[in-house]
Amino acid sequence: MPGLSGAERTTTVVIGAGLPGLAIATELRRRGVDSITVSGLEAPGGQASQTAPLQRCDAAGGSSLQERNEILRQLRNYASSHHLDIRNGTAAVQLDRMGAGTADAPLHRWAVHTPDGVLLADHIVLTRCAHSQLRRMLTDLGISVGQNLVAAMRAIGMYLVGVGELITPTPREVLRQAKVVGQAISAKVYPDSVPSVLTGSFATLQAPA
């Protein structure tokens, strides 16, 4: 693919810099997995595409909103203190699947095009996407999707955090999803020895079992 000689390389690109994006970026950092987080996914003309916001199920109650804001505050503090690569002013405008890998690069490789350049990654995490939009996007990429959307996406190195069928999950459900996805990506990055020492502590943020 032309134009990739100066591309940046990372393990994971997180698309969406809201609470779900910060949650998964934090989980990946704690597990020793590098990532770059961009603000969202937009059409080349600047209009929001697959990351159009959905109705929030935590928006009505004052206590839920307060909890969400507190979690978001702690995630932002973690991102700042641990120098996470969060690019709020940069959006992805195109995703290209580059194949299933080779002996030298066994994982799936993705090219995430942004106005500032191309990001190459083995994994992509999407946030705040409707399932119908995801199915259309996968179809556009030439990927056949059956009933199990999540399994089809994971098979090609794509993951979801903060995504529900009709409404965005609650903050604690987002944290649970981020933990599950963080574990899944970490297990692929470190198949023989997943790091046991995590960086930082989020005891107050853990979702109930």
Read off the pLDDT band of 31 (50, 70, 90): very high
Read off the pLDDT band of 205 (50, 70, 90): very low
pLDDT for 186 beyond 70? yes
* pLDDT at residue number 60: 43
Strands 158-161 and 123-127: parallel
Residue 31, classified by CB atoms within 10 Å of its CB into exposed (0-12), middle (13-18) or buried (19+), is buried
User: Mean pLDDT across the stretch 91-101?
Assistant: 81
> What's the whole-model pTM score?
0.80
Helix or strand holding residue 136 (H, E): helix 131-140
**Range 44-48 contact pairs with CB under 8 angstroms and sequence separation of 24 or more:** 44/93, 44/94
Neighbours of 112 (CB within 10 A): 24
172 or 204: whose pLDDT is higher?
172
Rounded distance between C-alpha atoms, residue 14 and residue 86, angstroms: 9
167 or 181: whose pLDDT is higher?
181
pLDDT for 23 beyond 70? yes
Q: Please give the mean pLDDT across all residues of the chain.
A: 78
Residue pair 110/95 in contact (Cβ under 8 Å)? The answer is yes
pLDDT digits (tens, 9 = 90+) for 118-146: 999 999 999 976 667 777 777 777 777 66
The DSSP symbol for 41 reads B
How would you list the strands of the sheet with 8-9, edge to edge? 8-9, 117-121, 110-114, 94-97
What is the percent of the chain where pLDDT is above 70? 69
* pLDDT at residue number 43: 58
